[in-house]
Amino acid sequence: MPIMKVEDFYFTYPGVSAPSLKGITLPIMKNKITALIGPSGCGKSTLLRSMNRIHDLYPGNKYEGRIELLNLETDEFENILEIKKENDFIKLRQKVGMIFQKPTPFPMSIFDNVAYGLKIMGIKNKSELHDRVEDALKGAALWKEVHDRLDKSAMGLSGGQQQRLCIARAVAVKPEVLLFDEPTSALDPISTGAIEELIVELKNDVSIAIVTHNMQQASRISDYTAFMYLGDLIEYDETEKIFLNPKEQKTEDYITGRFG
């Protein structure tokens, strides 16, 4: 069952005449991991960043088509490209969280980092905040390492810990979808392994879309894979089929390393 549906989606950056995404159609399945792969410049990050409208931080982008998010209360899909009000953007981003390539701890304590999104949601009760921070840190497999220094600055953590902190921070607000934009490309292999394990565990609670340059990573953790090339979606299927039996020649060339 899809939780998000991208339909005939075009995206154009400001000052560029040609669209960077040309008629993309694909679903993000509920409680599954969908990997977006493809060579640099294929538009995979652009697509991911459209799914929570983070592009709107910068003016002048043009959207066409539809990106729909399932409203769990009404069981109906709503087009997120129609969002205009600040409040609705905030709601969207609480439902669709994002993890970035470089860890982005805020310059504050570990506790305040994880509590940041919760406070924005209006949770003020101290014990509730504490419980949810603890749950989130446990969910991100970080609790054991930091439980005795929650009031210390998050900047003192290692890169891998910082990335798990960012995941905890995103998980804390209980999003429906999590977008990962190359979450391990700045990390060492051991931290990468920990994050991959974590992402797989997270899919019990959230639906996940992940952009990755690393094809092994896509094949290891994802259920579905979308291969993109020069702004087009070349192929979307179950990960196994994409990697073992691709229908398109382009896909096969890419995953076998013939170009990239």
Partner 1 sequence: MRLLINKIVLALSTLSAVVGLAFLGWILITLVAKGITSFHFELFLKDLVDGGLRNLIIGQFIMAGIASLIGIPLGMVAGIYIREYGRGKYAEFIRDLSDIMMSAPSIVIGAFVYAVIVIPTGGTSGFAGAIALAIMMIPIIINTTDSMLSLVPKELREAGIALGASKYKVIFDIVIKAAKVGIMTGVLLSFARIIGETAPLLFTSETSNYFSLNLTESFPSLTVSIYDLANEPEKASRDLAWAASFILTVIVLVINLTGRYITRNKHK
Q: How far is the CB of 89 from partner 1 (least distance, A)?
A: 8
Q: How far is the CB of 169 from partner 1 (least distance, A)?
A: 7
Q: How far is the CB of 155 from partner 1 (least distance, A)?
A: 9
Q: Which stretch binds partner 1 (CB under 8 A): 40-48, 106-114, 199-207, 213-221?
A: 106-114
Q: What is the 3-state secondary structure (H, E, C) of the chain?
A: CEEEEEEEEEEECCCCCCCCEEEEEEEEECCCEEEEECCCCCCHHHHHHHCCCHHHHCCCCEEEEEEEEEECCCCEEEEHHHCCCHHHHHHHHHHEEEECCCCCCCCCEHHHHHHHHHHHCCCCCHHHHHHHHHHHHHHCCCHHHHCCCCCCEHHHCCHHHHHHHHHHHHHHCCCCEEEEECCCCCCCHHHHHHHHHHHHHHCCCCEEEEECCCHHHHHHHCCEEEEEECCEEEEEEEHHHHHHCCCCHHHHHHHCCCCC
Does position 94 interact with partner 1 (CB under 8 A)? The reply is yes
Per-residue contact track with partner 1, 47 to 86, x per CB under 8 A? -----x-x--x-x--------------------------x
Q: Which stretch binds partner 1 (CB under 8 A): 17-25, 99-107, 137-145, 240-248?
A: 99-107
- Residues in 111-130 that interact with partner 1 by CB under 8 A: 116-117, 120-121
Does position 106 interact with partner 1 (CB under 8 A)? The reply is yes
Give the footprint of partner 1 on this chain (CB under 8 A): 52, 54, 57, 59, 86, 90-91, 93-94, 97-98, 100-102, 104, 106-108, 116-117, 120-121, 166, 169-170, 173
